[in-house]
Amino acid sequence: MQRELQQVVVVDAVRTAFGRAGEKGIFWKTRAEDLCTPLLQALLERNPPATPSMVEDILWGVTNQVKEQGGTLGRMLSMLADWGWSVPGCSVDRMCAGGLTAVAMGVNHIAAGMADCLIAGGVEHMGHIPMGFLRDPHPRSEEVMGDSSAFSMGMTAENIHDRFPEITREMADAYAVECQKKAERAINAGKMKETIIPIEVELPDGSRRVVDKDQQPRPQTTREGLAGLKTPFREEGRVTAGNSSGLNDGAAGVLLMSEEMALRLGVRPKMRWVSTAVAAVDPRIMGTAPAPAIRKALSKAGLSLKDIDIIELNEAFAVQALHNLLTLGLQSDDPRVNMWGGSIAYGHPLAASGPRLVAFLAGLFKENPHARYGLTAMCVGRGQGYAVIWENLIH
Among all residues, which ones are annotated catalytic? 96, 348, 379
Measured between alpha carbons, how far is 379 from 139 in angstroms, rounded to an integer?
Answer: 25
Residue 58's nearest CA partner among 251, 193, 196, 192 is: 251
N- to C-terminal Cα separation, the chain: 37
Q: How far is CA 147 from the centre of its chain?
A: 27
3-state helix, strand, coil in the chain (%, to 5): 35, 20, 40
Residue 16's nearest CA partner among 201, 262, 271 is: 201
Measured between alpha carbons, how far is 48 from 2 in angstroms, rounded to an integer?
Answer: 33
Measured between alpha carbons, how far is 394 from 385 in angstroms, rounded to an integer?
Answer: 28
Measured between alpha carbons, how far is 251 from 272 in angstroms, rounded to an integer?
Answer: 22
Beta bridge partners of 380: 384
From start to end of the chain, where are the E strands?
8-15, 19-20, 58-62, 89-92, 117-125, 199-202, 208-211, 248-258, 271-280, 308-313, 373-380, 384-392
Q: At what angle do helices 98-111 and 353-367 cross, to 10 degrees?
A: 70
CB atoms within 10 A of CB 218: 18
Beta-carbon contacts of residue 275 (< 8 Å; ≥ 6 apart): 297, 298, 300, 301, 388, 389
Measured between alpha carbons, how far is 118 from 182 in angstroms, rounded to an integer?
Answer: 33
